[in-house]
């Protein structure tokens, strides 16, 4: 399965995917796309010889589709991409765009809920657990069907930074597992097995 990974920052989930899918594996990252030319993850991809592209207008669906078509992309993975995907891209790739979110949706999602803000909101709420969610992407932030979740405890001593680090470890296992399941099924599917049993 030919995968495009969309990032806006350092690309730690991109790195996790690249480690999980070496050349010749059942899923291959064939493009790294960003809305920010200075996103550090782009440099990492270039260092590995993976094609990259920077969107001049992230709201322009035609620009997205032209770029995705050039690399015959079959699955789009939003891995720390913080902009809304344009409607024409959603329409063309419906059911084939996934996002990883650093909380247990449907809580703690929506516009502006990314990065440190999510973990601050989790801690302010007083909940006893957080985690990561992989979901299908549609026209509304963080609304699409949930494909997989994994949980971590929220500790009394947590700061947004310590909670973020614990959730990120889960993200780095959960996202490759969902991509592998998609590659085997030919489309994004709910994770059928407990995470621990997946390779």
pLDDT tens-place string over residues 26-62: 999 999 999 999 999 999 999 999 999 999 999 999 9
Q: How far is CA 133 from the centre of its chain?
A: 9
- 191: in domain: no
Q: What is the DSSP letter of 93?
A: T
Q: Is there a contact between 77 and 4 (Cβ–Cβ < 8 Å)?
A: yes
Give CA–CA dist 36/193, Å, rounded.
Answer: 36
In the set 101, 119, 135, 172, the catalytic residue is: 101
Q: Is there a contact between 101 and 93 (Cβ–Cβ < 8 Å)?
A: no
Q: Does the annotation mark 172 as catalytic? A: no
Number of domains comprising the chain: 1
Structural domain boundaries, residue 45? 2-186
CATH code (residue 116): 3.40.50.170
Give CA–CA dist 129/167, Å, rounded.
Answer: 10
Q: Is there a contact between 188 and 75 (Cβ–Cβ < 8 Å)?
A: yes
Give CA–CA dist 100/70, Å, rounded.
Answer: 25
Helix (H) or strand (E) holding 87: helix 87-92
Asked if pLDDT for residue 1 goes beyond 90, the answer is yes
Residue 92 has φ and ψ, to the nearest 5°, of -70, -35
- 195: in domain: no
- 192: in domain: no
Q: pLDDT, tens digit, for every residue of 96-144? A: 999 999 999 999 999 999 999 999 999 999 999 999 999 999 999 999 9
- 97: in domain: yes
- 75: in domain: yes
**Shortest CA distance to 84 belongs to which of 145, 140, 126, 165?**
140
- 148: in domain: yes
What are the DSSP E strand ranges found in 111-182?
Answer: 129-136, 146-153
- 197: in domain: no
- 199: in domain: no
**What are the Cα distances from residue 190, in Å, to 38, 57, 161?**
33, 32, 29
Asked if pLDDT for residue 194 goes beyond 90, the answer is no
């Amino acid at each position: 399965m030919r995968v495009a990974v969309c990032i806006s920052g350092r690309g730690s989930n991109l790195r996790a995917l690249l480690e999980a899918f070496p050349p010749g594996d059942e899923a291959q990252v064939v493009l790294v796309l960003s809305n920010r030319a200075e996103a550090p993850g782009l440099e990492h991809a270039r260092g590995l010889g993976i094609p990259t592209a920077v969107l001049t207008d992230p709201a322009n669906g035609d620009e997205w589709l032209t770029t995705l078509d050039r690399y015959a992309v079959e699955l789009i993975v939003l891995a720390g991409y913080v902009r809304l995907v344009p409607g024409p891209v959603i329409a063309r790739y419906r059911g084939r765009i996934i996002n990883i979110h650093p909380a247990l949706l449907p809580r703690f999602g929506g516009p502006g809920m990314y990065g440190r803000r999510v973990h601050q909101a989790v801690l302010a709420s007083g909940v006893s657990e957080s985690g990561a969610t992989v979901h299908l992407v549609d026209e509304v932030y963080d609304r699409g069907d949930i494909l997989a979740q994994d949980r971590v405890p929220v500790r009394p001593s947590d700061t947004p930074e310590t909670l973020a680090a614990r959730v990120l470890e889960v993200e780095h296992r959960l996202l490759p597992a969902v991509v592998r399941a998609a590659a085997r099924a030919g489309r994004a599917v709910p994770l059928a097995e407990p995470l621990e049993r997946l390779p």
